[in-house]
Amino acid sequence: MTAVESRNRSPVAVSITGLRKTFGDKTVLDDIDLTIRRGEFVVLLGPSGTGKTTLLRLLTGLELPDAGQVLVPAARTTVYQEPRLIPSKRVLPNVIVGQRRSRETREAGLRALAEVQLDGKARQWPATLSGGEAQRAALARALVREPELLLLDEPFAALDALTRLQMQDLVGDLVARHRPAVLMVTHDVDEAVRLADRVLVLDRGRFAVDTEIELPHPRDRTDPAALRYQAAFLAQLGVGRTTENPRSTP
């Protein structure tokens, strides 16, 4: 059984049908349909202002659709570009914030910190963490809630290039282990090809592209097949020129 066939047998976590969202006289999302299954990593690309963040806000419940239906699991959480840690709380209390206070919750928080390689940082203050460490703490806070749906809103955009690659590897490993449905917004095409099972390109309120990335993990950024996917998505975004099918073989 291929990886795609395995994902297609997983339960549906997100079901969107006929979604429409307008702001004033501007239609941001127009008759959108989308299904994401448990364990599926979907990346959303598109120019600024095309509705990517609006779609995430609809999935979190911060926005309501003007038409259509959005079905999402109750167990869902979001990691943003900024870690959004509470400065007055140490790292572990930040990870388990809002959870019922108990020994089990504390142990779950420590396990989540260990998973993101912060097991020695539980008693530190957020201000003492590097940018990458703070973002890992935000990931631990998401993991401890055992989400069925993980929403990632440009979570690595503020990190330096090396830390960004390390965080991509970490997120890929964590998602493979916990198998939530994932929808990540990014402007980085290389990042999309490196992590995604599917890439969507949003253009003028609709999905102009919905492509399976048929490459095994972990992925080599210099693999000719990966580079063809990148070129095809960049062309769709108006960068460079290509007419090549990204699934074609060398």
Which residues share a beta bridge with 135? Answer: none
The DSSP element (H or E) to which 17 belongs, if any, is strand 12-23
Q: Per residue in 36-90, pLDDT tens?
A: 999 999 999 998 888 999 999 999 999 999 999 999 999 999 999 999 999 999 9
pLDDT of residue 250: 33
**Helical residues (DSSP H) of 40-90, grouped into ranges:** 52-60
Going across the sheet that includes 12-23, the strands are: 26-37, 12-23, 67-71
Instruction: Count Cα atoms within 13 angstroms, Cβ side, for 119.
Output: 7
Residue 245 has pLDDT above 90, yes or no: no
| Close Cβ partners of 146 (under 8 Å, ≥ 6 residues apart) | 75, 178
In the predicted model, is pLDDT for residue 248 greater than 70?
Answer: no
Overall pTM surpassing 0.85 (yes/no) = yes
For residue 218, whether the previous peptide bond is cis, meaning omega lies within 30 degrees of 0, is: yes
For the chain, which domains are there? 1-75+151-250 (3.40.50.300), 79-146 (no CATH)
Smallest Cα–Cα separation from 95: which of 119, 130, 65, 64?
A: 119
134: closest CA among 111, 116, 154, 115? 116
DSSP state of 70: E
Q: What is the DSSP string of 39-93?
A: T-EEEEE--TTSSHHHHHHHHHTSS--SEEEEE--SSEEEE-SS----TTS-HHH
What's the CA gap between 237 and 218, in Å, rounded?
Answer: 25
How far is the C-alpha of 50 from the C-alpha of 206, rounded, in Å? 9
Element containing residue 137 per DSSP (H, E): helix 131-143
Q: How far apart are CA 195 and CA 172, in angstroms?
A: 6
Q: What is the pLDDT of residues 209-231, one digit of tens each?
A: 999 999 999 999 899 999 999 99
Query: What confidence tens digit (pLDDT) does each residue in 23-37 have?
Result: 999 999 999 999 999
CA 142-57-150 angle, 5° bins: 25
